[in-house]
Structure 1
Amino acid sequence: MSRPTARFRLASALTLLALSGLGVVAAASPALADPPVSVQPAPADALTPLVDCVQDAPLGTVAARTVVLGYRSTASVPVSVPAGGGSNDLTTGAVDRGQPSVFEPGEHHGVWLLTVDAAAEPTLGWRLGPTTTDFAAAPACTAATAVTLSTPAKVAAGGTAAVSATVTRMLLAAPGSGTVAFALDGGAQVVAPVSASGVARADLPVSAAGAHTVTATFQPEQASGLLSAVGTATFTATAPSAPLTVATDSVVAGSTSVLVTVARSSGAGDATVDVMTADGTARAGADYTALATTVALADGQTTATVRVPLASRPAGSPAATFFVLLQRASTSVTTASATVALPAVAAVAPATAAAAGTHGGNAAPAAVSSVLPPDDPTAAGPGATTAAGQDLALLFGGILLTAGGILGVLGLVRAAGMREARA
């Protein structure tokens, strides 16, 4: 082994050891992860190579240069570009040196470390798709910074987009100072300070639906020795939602629940609203089960429904009402409440009560009516005593008449016997 080659390898090892100790190797670990299960070929102009920084480690006649690389992908899904295939190559020497071949959406920093002999390959670069980046023009890792943006996937037009920018350094801790200027589609800037953890946040007004691009520019404090950095991200703004209304179905005797419908006239945009019940003359727990939930209407959806369980009410319960309310909606509301009317429950019929008393329970036994006709003279009544006296007199009169008749008959028999004796 020649002395320059040995020195180059030693310098490379020392540089990698230094970068590993300062956290760069950990930042590069995503490139070592397993590729996504499903990837697609990269569309034209979707990928841009990024040189985050370079770190030189001279050692005699050898100039070991470690390059920290990243990329930006505008594709919406992971894409694949084979290394060494013409669209993912090093520009000089070996075209395949372990560069990543699967690229996630968004902007990524510190995903790949490459150590080269700067003296032997001074013009080395990385070609990814139609773009080639030059290593020689990259900043030193001790001064380089990077900005990673986080944006919501969707925002309703007419609202605000909450965005955050994380500022990092390749070899040292986060800056902890400076500012980040946020701009939506190149418009007016919103400047926010960088926290001690390297994060800046802002709310950007979104006036129109469609795709939008956020740019975040980090500006370090003067005399800090750091370089500024720019990060970008995209999101989609949906059309604003139409106003929301709430309505309920009618309740009839025997209903076990009532259907509540949240609706809007158009399905454009997303919307959310809290739906809850409130007592009127009906009481939660006795007449119905209280409800408190969040209803979401996705883009293209015009209605959403929930059910409120109803209790079985006892006989004789009067008509009662309770209310369904819309609160904390993400859009305007034209009808914020609906009234649920519970019908009265009929009381138990007398015949039903009599039957219940016959079959048991604490009810008094039913009275047994007389089998005699209403005008029966023998029935008890106000003149019952007088009628009884008259009946007794008639009875004695009949007895006397009967006794007199018997005596008359005996007299006739005796008279006939005396006539026969005389003859």
Structure 2
Amino acid sequence: MIRPRASLRAACAIAAGLVASVSLAALGGMAAATAAPAPVSAPASPLTPFVDCVQDAPLGAVTARTVVLGYRSTADAAVELPAGGGRNDLSSAPADRGQPTAFLPGEHHGAWLLTVDAAAEPSLGWQLDGATVAIDGDAPSCTTATSVAVSAPATAAAGSTVPVSAAVTRALLAAPGDGTVEFSLDGRVVARVPVTAGTARADIPAPAAGAHTIAAAYAPADGSALRPASASARLTVVPAAGPLAIAADSVVGGSTSARVIVSRTSSAGAATVEFATTDGTARSGADYVRTVGTVALADGQTQAMVIVPLAVRKPGAPASTFFVVLRRASTDVSTAVAAVSLPAVPVARPPAPAAAAIGGGGGSLSAAAAGPSSALPEGDPTAAAPSAVGASQDLFWIVVAALLTGGGIAGVLGLLRAAGGRRGDL
């Protein structure tokens, strides 16, 4: 029997190892594929129900219990939950009892008023998207319970002033007319305002850019049986936008529109502003088209253009001006008015009449030629100088004229006598 060589034995060992590795990997993959997936926790519900107050009223042998309920939503948009669908039910009772089905972001008091038989349904519960609140007699009485609703803008620019208000109410009775409301920003009290007819208002400085919380806490007057209450609202502060300015481009003759530019020095944050045209010496309809609108500058945008159509103006219309005005801006305005200047419209002149011809026969003479003998001005340096021949001829005639005058006459008579003497000799 022939023994295999050492190299052959080594190759076989390596091949066996590879086969074993592949087999183990396949078995591991099958085990992973058949293993149960890891449990995934359900996201927490953004909705929380609460009881504002309870009021019992005996009606003979029956005690009618009136319950005022509300909810709090941390969602960014409205949440729809149908009544009796398993996520918006009443326990130990018919699931649909007229509860709200649309839940808006924020905190909402007095969203639902429910009346039950206190003896027949002593321990109801409102189940809202996994959270449950007990409806029983342990809640505050509606004669003393209060609630607060905060009203504030959702966004504001850093460094600006934020107007906020708080409405203090009672579920079944009139709003309180006394007490105070403390407004706080991120837990720090920034204003304390007395309540007048259930309302308190304040202007608070906007903090640095970012997400913030405005809270309002109602404190009843000393000796009052009313209970305190509080509420909050979210505020997003954006970087301050540069002040807005408006300027008009020049308008040339024949233009059909005027361009007006709304700009700012800083592009940080968003800004909006309304604009409107107004008459000056130019009139809407006759010189331009009345235009109104809103300019919105997005974050990172420094300018936007407004186009104002121009009317067809009559020949001879004088230069005139109208204005474009900014109003209701979301930020500061450095220049609120732009003047648009319209040029005068020239009057169309008739063409010059053709030159009339005079004369007849074989030639013609223009009206211009029928005037002065020369079209050149007197003493025109471009006129031709007199020639030398003409000058010598003039001198000859001057000498002849001189001979014919004075002594020249005697010479003529002498010539005549000489001619007579020759005739006598003959």
Q: How does 1:125-164 map to 2 (within 5 A)?
A: 125-134=125-134, 135-164=136-165
Change (3 A) 1:269 1:43: farther
2:46 aligned residue: 46
| CA 1:288–1:267: 2 relative to 1, 3 Å | farther
Are positions 1:218 and 2:218 aligned together?
yes
Q: Which runs of 5+ in 2 are unaligned?
A: 1-41, 374-426
In the alignment, structure 1 residue 259 sits paired with structure 2 residue 251:
no
| Residue 172 (structure 1) shift | 1.6
Query: Is 1:305 the equivalent of 2:293?
Result: no
Q: Is the 8 A contact 2:90 2:97 kept in 1?
A: no
Deviations 1:64-101 (A, max 9, x none): 5332212122323331234455543445x337252525
Which residue does 2:192 correspond to in 1? 191
Pick from 283, 286, 289: which aligns with 1:285?
283
Q: Distance in 2 between matches of 1:376 and 1:333?
A: 67
Please name the residue that 2:415 is paired with: none
Contact between 2:100 and 2:111, CA under 8 Å: does it hold in 1? no
What displacement does 1:253 show?
Answer: 2.3
What letter matches 2:177 in structure 1?
Answer: G
Aligned match of 2:170: 169
| Displacement after TM superposition at 1:49 (Å) | 0.8
Alpha-carbon separation, structure 1, partners of 2:108 and 2:144? 18
Q: Does 1:370 align with 2:370?
A: no
Cα deviation digits, residues 304-336 of structure 1 (max 9, x gap): 413152552534x77666665656754345666
Work out the number of aligned pairs and report it: 322
CA distance in 2 between partners of 1:267 and 1:177 (Å): 43
Counterpart amino acid of 1:373?
L
Q: Tell whether the 8 Å contact from 1:258 to 1:310 is kept in structure 2 after alignment.
A: no
RMSD across aligned positions (CA): 4.0
TM-score after normalising by structure 2? 0.62
Alignment correspondent of 1:201: 201
User: Is this contact kept in 1: 2:245–2:262, CA < 8 A?
Assistant: yes
Distance 2:268 2:159 in 1: 16
Q: Is the contact made by 2:282 and 2:321 (CA closer than 8 Å) also made in structure 1? A: no
Q: Which amino acid aligns with 1:184?
A: L
Counterpart amino acid of residue 207 in structure 1: P
CA contact (8 A) 1:144 1:170 kept: yes
Whether 2:108 is the aligned partner of 1:108: answer yes
The answer on whether the counterparts of 1:146 and 1:168 sit within 8 Å (CA) in structure 2 is: yes
Distance change >3 Å, CA 119–CA 343, structure 1 → 2: closer
What letter corresponds to residue 217 of structure 2 in structure 1? T
Unpaired segments ≥5 residues, structure 1: 1-41, 356-365, 383-423
Q: TM (normalized to structure 1)?
A: 0.62
In structure 2, the CA distance between the partners of 1:221 and 1:333, relative to structure 1 (3 Å rule), is: closer
Give the percent of matched residue pairs that are identical in Structure 1 and Structure 2: 49
